[in-house]
Amino acid sequence: MNGLKSRGALIVFEGCDRSGKSTQCKLLVEHLRSLGHKIEHISFPDRTTECGKVIDAYLKKKIDLPHETIHLLFTSNRWELANKMKQLLVNGTTLIVDRYSYSGVAFSTTKGLDLEWCKGPETGLPRPDRVFFLQINPTALENRGGFGNERFETTDFQEKVLKIYKQLHDDSWVYIDAFRDRHVILKEIADQTLKVIEKCKTEKLSTLW
């Protein structure tokens, strides 16, 4: 152990809207818990916090806000949970996270904000040990249930977001073909996650950007 306390892994799911992130998060949580792992599931935005309530109203098109304001609200929403996330991780709990900083930066940059400016407020948040990016053609998303219910669920916008995502990937990212049976996808993700969990036990938690 080299004197380091065993910690949990930070596993993040990213991808375009309706690409299957939430489904795979839930399936992975259930699978890992069945194997006896300490697991917590987090979704961003967390719509239960004070920032999250404003974000929820914005996404449901009930209010309008400047692009800069909503970007900083999304970032603040992540910072609201940052200390809790760090505490869980260092105490050996693995976190399965549905969307993270990459989504915030990709969506805001697509709206016209500067990419580096968008990354700035996210600096210092816990860095994921693995990012599973669910790949699916944005035109195929139109046929998925609920697509179009929220503000940015249009094919044109999702195609632009996808291009920004590709500028943000690093060595923690793994691309997953999401246009397959959910259980086939789960097996691929679960096998990799178990390896990451084992590897992270003796590694210090690092930070974004």
Supply the pLDDT for residue 32.
98
Q: The sheet that has 39-43: what strands, in order across it?
A: 39-43, 94-98, 10-15, 130-135, 173-177
Q: Which residues of the chain have pLDDT under 50?
A: 1-3
Supply the pLDDT for residue 2.
45
Question: pLDDT tens-digit profile of 105-161?
Answer: 999 999 999 999 999 999 999 999 999 999 987 666 566 555 555 667 788 898 999
**Domain 10-200 in CATH: superfamily?**
P-loop containing nucleotide triphosphate hydrolases (3.40.50.300)
Supply the pLDDT for residue 40.
98
Q: Residue type at 32?
A: L
Whether 96 and 39 have beta carbons less than 8 Å apart is answered as yes
Supply the pLDDT for residue 156.
87
The phi, psi pair for 75, rounded to 5°, reads -60, -45
Global confidence as pTM: 0.91
Supply the pLDDT for residue 1.
41
